[in-house]
Chains A and B, each alone.
Chain A
Amino acid sequence: MLRIRALAHRYPQHARAALDGIDLDIPSGCLFGLLGPNGAGKTTLISLVAGLLAPQSGSLEVDGEPLTAYRRSHPNAIALVPQDYAFYPMLTVAENLRFFAGVQGLGGRVQRARVARALAAAQLEGVAGQLAGELSGGLRRRLNLAIGLLGEPRILLLDEPTVGVDPQSRAFLLDTIRALADDGRSVIYTSHYMDEVQALCERIAILDLGRVLAQGTLHELLREGAASLVLRLARPLPEPCAATLRARHPELLLSDAELRLPALPADALPALLAELAAAGSPAEAVSYGQQNLETLFMRLTRRSLRD
Chain B
Amino acid sequence: MNATRLLALWKKESLALLRDRHGLAALFLMPMIFILVMSLALRDAFDVSAASDIGYVIVDLDASPASARYAERLRALLTFRDRGTLPDETAAHGALSRGELGFALVLPAGFAAAQPDGAAARGERPALRLLVDPVVPQALQTAFRLHAEAELGRLQTEALLRRLGRTLMIPELQALDPAAHGLPLETVAVRAGGGAAPVPTSVQQSVPAWLIFSMFFVVIPLAAVFIAERQHGTLQRLASQQVPFGLILAGKLLPFFVVNQIQAVLMVLVGRYLVPLAGGEALVLPSGGGTLAALWLVSAAVSVAAVCWALLIASLTRTTEQATVIGGVGNILMGALGGIMVPAFFMPDFMQQLARFSPMSWALDGFHRVLLHHGGIAQVLPPAAALLCFGLAALGAAILMNLRARRASPR
- Residues of chain A having any CB pair with chain B under 8 Å: 11-13, 43-44, 47, 50-54, 71, 75-76, 78-80, 82-88, 90-91, 95, 98-107, 147, 151
Q: A51 CA to B410 CA in the complex, in Å?
A: 9
Q: Check B16–A90 contact: CB distance below 8 A.
A: yes
In the A-B complex, the 5 residue pairs with the closest CB atoms: A102-B8, A84-B233, A47-B410, A86-B233, A105-B1
Query: Digit string of B239-253 for contact with A (CB within 8 Å is 1, else 0)?
Result: 111110000000000
| Shortest distance from the beta carbon of A149 to any chain B beta carbon, whole Å | 12
Chain B residues lying within 8 Å of A105, measured Cβ to Cβ, are 1-2, 4-5
Q: Check B242–A90 contact: CB distance below 8 A.
A: no
Q: Check A85–B242 contact: CB distance below 8 A.
A: no
Q: Check B241–A87 contact: CB distance below 8 A.
A: no
Instruction: Say whether B7 faces chain A, with CB atoms less than 8 Å apart.
Output: yes
Known: A12-B408, A79-B241. A102 touches B234 (CB 8 A): no
Chain B residues lying within 8 Å of A101, measured Cβ to Cβ, are 8
Highest count of chain A CB atoms <10 Å: which of B1, B237, B407, B410 = B237
Instruction: Say whether B124 faces chain A, with CB atoms less than 8 Å apart.
Output: no
Instruction: Say whether B287 faces chain A, with CB atoms less than 8 Å apart.
Output: no
Chain B residues lying within 8 Å of A13, measured Cβ to Cβ, are 408
| Shortest distance from the beta carbon of A191 to any chain B beta carbon, whole Å | 17
Q: Check B16–A82 contact: CB distance below 8 A.
A: no
Q: Check A50–B240 contact: CB distance below 8 A.
A: yes
Q: A291 CA to B25 CA in the complex, in Å?
A: 61
Q: Check B243–A103 contact: CB distance below 8 A.
A: yes
Q: Check A103–B8 contact: CB distance below 8 A.
A: yes
Q: A103 CA to B6 CA in the complex, in Å?
A: 7
Instruction: Say whether B20 faces chain A, with CB atoms less than 8 Å apart.
Output: yes
Chain A residues lying within 8 Å of B50, measured Cβ to Cβ, are none
Q: A266 CA to B209 CA in the complex, in Å?
A: 88
Q: Check A102–B7 contact: CB distance below 8 A.
A: yes
Q: Check A52–B240 contact: CB distance below 8 A.
A: yes
| Shortest distance from the beta carbon of B396 to any chain A beta carbon, whole Å | 20
Q: A258 CA to B407 CA in the complex, in Å?
A: 47
Q: A99 CA to B408 CA in the complex, in Å?
A: 28
Known: A82-B237, A90-B15, A151-B241. A12 touches B410 (CB 8 A): no
Instruction: Say whether B293 faces chain A, with CB atoms less than 8 Å apart.
Output: no
- Residues of chain B having any CB pair with chain A under 8 Å: 1-2, 4-5, 7-9, 11-12, 15-16, 19-20, 232-234, 236-243, 406-410
Q: Check A84–B8 contact: CB distance below 8 A.
A: no
Known: A51-B240, A52-B239, A107-B4. A82 touches B233 (CB 8 A): yes
Q: Check A80–B8 contact: CB distance below 8 A.
A: no
Q: Check B237–A80 contact: CB distance below 8 A.
A: yes
Q: A91 CA to B20 CA in the complex, in Å?
A: 11
Chain A residues lying within 8 Å of B7, measured Cβ to Cβ, are 102
Of the A-B pairs whose beta carbons lie under 8 Å apart in the complex, a sample of 20, sorted by A's number, is A13-B408, A50-B240, A52-B239, A52-B240, A53-B410, A71-B242, A79-B240, A80-B237, A80-B240, A82-B233, A85-B233, A87-B232, A87-B237, A88-B234, A90-B19, A95-B15, A102-B4, A103-B238, A103-B241, A105-B4
Minimum CB distance partner of A53 in chain B:
B410
Q: Check B8–A85 contact: CB distance below 8 A.
A: no
Q: Check B242–A51 contact: CB distance below 8 A.
A: yes
Q: Check B234–A91 contact: CB distance below 8 A.
A: no
20 more contacts with CB within 8 A, not counting A103-B9, A104-B241, are A43-B410, A44-B410, A53-B407, A80-B237, A84-B232, A84-B236, A86-B232, A90-B15, A90-B16, A90-B20, A91-B15, A91-B16, A91-B19, A98-B8, A99-B12, A103-B5, A106-B4, A107-B4, A147-B237, A151-B241
Chain B residues lying within 8 Å of A47, measured Cβ to Cβ, are 410
Chain A residues lying within 8 Å of B9, measured Cβ to Cβ, are 102-103
| Shortest distance from the beta carbon of B229 to any chain A beta carbon, whole Å | 8
Q: Check A99–B410 contact: CB distance below 8 A.
A: no
Known: A12-B408, A47-B410, A53-B410. A91 touches B12 (CB 8 A): yes
Q: Check B408–A86 contact: CB distance below 8 A.
A: no
Minimum CB distance partner of B242 in chain A:
A75
Minimum CB distance partner of A131 in chain B:
B19
| Shortest distance from the beta carbon of A179 to any chain B beta carbon, whole Å | 22
Chain A residues lying within 8 Å of B409, measured Cβ to Cβ, are 11
| Shortest distance from the beta carbon of B26 to any chain A beta carbon, whole Å | 15
Q: A87 CA to B16 CA in the complex, in Å?
A: 12
Chain B residues lying within 8 Å of A151, measured Cβ to Cβ, are 241
Chain B residues lying within 8 Å of A85, measured Cβ to Cβ, are 232-233
| Shortest distance from the beta carbon of B297 to any chain A beta carbon, whole Å | 32
Chain B residues lying within 8 Å of A11, measured Cβ to Cβ, are 408-409
Q: Check A52–B236 contact: CB distance below 8 A.
A: yes
| Shortest distance from the beta carbon of B20 to any chain A beta carbon, whole Å | 7
Minimum CB distance partner of B7 in chain A:
A102
Highest count of chain A CB atoms <10 Å: which of B5, B12, B16 = B12
